């Protein structure tokens, strides 16, 4: 049987590891070729460890191991020209573009709004909101010119549906992604390009497994992973502390496939019920 996205090409940002790598592999398993970018260096104020060039190379290796083609480039979503060049090179090699996953993002450093440095606010908005805009702005011409429609999936967060104390910069950026999603859905509908947002709860990646995030959720300094897990579990309706990257990738696959051909402007929560609490 043909895969659910057989013969299509997906552009994925933040693809070196975590959710981005998971998205690349899940789409490749279902027949897609991949254009992958990642900054592959440390971002100021980010509490999780930086992805590396070796991480991106590993994503490339694994996609090829699935028998699919991949064009992998180091690029920063804050740099529109770099993102645009990566898309254009990928399309020239792979021949088309059908799916866009604006996944790249950072969690920043937990802090009160009054203590948040100006530069950290700007860094967060530049990556988690402007970087998403750059991604779609770079990809839309290829989608439109092909005349085949397409699917754009923007990664927001459960923090795009509710507030979290001490995360004003992150919450604001992720709420902004929802507004961008709805506007793009309206603008691109006539071209049969669907635009939806994903809203994960905590995902089992390096982004949540670090001391500042443990301390934030547990409400104490020096919190252990077990204490974080217990506190995180209380924020979900289902009895789990976090979900796995593939859970988000399966949702992305659905939105990218023809199974979701009439879904646009939607905010899909993969949050174990967190947004209802």
pLDDT digits (tens, 9 = 90+) for 14-58: 999 999 999 999 999 999 999 999 999 999 999 999 999 999 999
DSSP state of 241: S
Q: Cα-Cα-Cα-Cα dihedral of 167, 169, 171, 175, to 10°?
A: 170
Cα 261 from Cα 82, distance rounded (Å): 31
Could you tell me the two tokens for 63? Answer: 């996609």
Q: What percent of the chain has pLDDT over 90?
A: 99
Closest CA to 39 of 71, 12, 11, 74: 74
- pLDDT score for 2: 81
Asked if 76 and 128 touch (Cβ cutoff 8 Å), the reply is no
CB within 8 Å of 230: residues ≥ 6 apart: 218, 241
Provide the greatest CA pair distance for the chain: 56
Burial label for 88, CB within 10 Å (0-12, 13-18, 19+), is middle
**Predicted confidence band at 1 (pLDDT cuts at 50, 70, 90)?**
low
**Predicted confidence band at 183 (pLDDT cuts at 50, 70, 90)?**
very high
pLDDT digits (tens, 9 = 90+) for 80-95: 999 999 999 999 999 9
Cα 161 from Cα 199, distance rounded (Å): 8
CB within 8 Å of 73: residues ≥ 6 apart: 35, 36, 37, 86, 89, 90
Q: What percent of the chain has pLDDT over 70?
A: 100
pTM score: 0.97
User: Given phi > 0 = left and psi -120 to 50 = alpha, else beta, which region is 30?
Assistant: alpha
- Neighbouring CB atoms inside 10 A of 80's CB total 16
Helix (H), strand (E) at residue 198: strand 193-200
170 catalytic residue (yes or no): yes
* Phi and psi at residue 12, to the nearest 5°: -125, 125
- Which one from 45, 164, 170, 262 is the annotated catalytic residue? 170
């Amino acid at each position: 049987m043909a895969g659910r996205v057989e013969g299509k090409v997906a552009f994925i940002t933040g693809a070196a590891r975590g959710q981005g790598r998971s998205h690349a592999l899940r789409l490749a398993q279902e027949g897609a070729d991949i254009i992958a970018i990642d900054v592959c260096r440390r971002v100021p104020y980010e509490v999780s460890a930086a992805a590396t060039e070796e991480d991106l190379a590993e994503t490339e290796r694994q996609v090829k191991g699935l028998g699919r083609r991949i064009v992998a480039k180091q690029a920063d979503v804050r740099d529109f020209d770099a993102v645009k060049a990566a898309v254009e090179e990928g399309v020239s090699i792979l021949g088309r573009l059908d799916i866009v996953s604006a996944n790249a993002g950072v969690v920043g450093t937990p802090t009160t709004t009054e203590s948040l440095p100006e530069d950290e606010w700007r860094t967060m908005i530049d990556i988690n909101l402007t970087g998403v805009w750059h991604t779609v702005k770079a990809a839309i011409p290829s989608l439109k010119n092909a005349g085949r429609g397409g699917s754009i999936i923007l990664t927001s967060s459960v923090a795009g549906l509710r507030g979290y104390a001490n995360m004003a910069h992150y919450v604001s950026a992720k709420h902004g992604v929802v507004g961008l999603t709805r506007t793009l859905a309206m603008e691109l509908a006539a071209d049969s390009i669907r635009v939806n947002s994903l809203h994960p709860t905590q995902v089992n990646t390096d982004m949540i497994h670090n001391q500042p995030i443990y301390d934030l959720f547990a409400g104490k300094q020096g919190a252990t992973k077990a204490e974080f897990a217990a506190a995180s579990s209380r924020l979900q309706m289902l009895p789990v502390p976090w979900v796995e990257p593939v859970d988000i990738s399966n949702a992305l696959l659905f939105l990218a496939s023809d199974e979701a051909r009439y879904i646009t402007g939607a905010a899909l929560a993969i949050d174990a019920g967190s947004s209802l609490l």
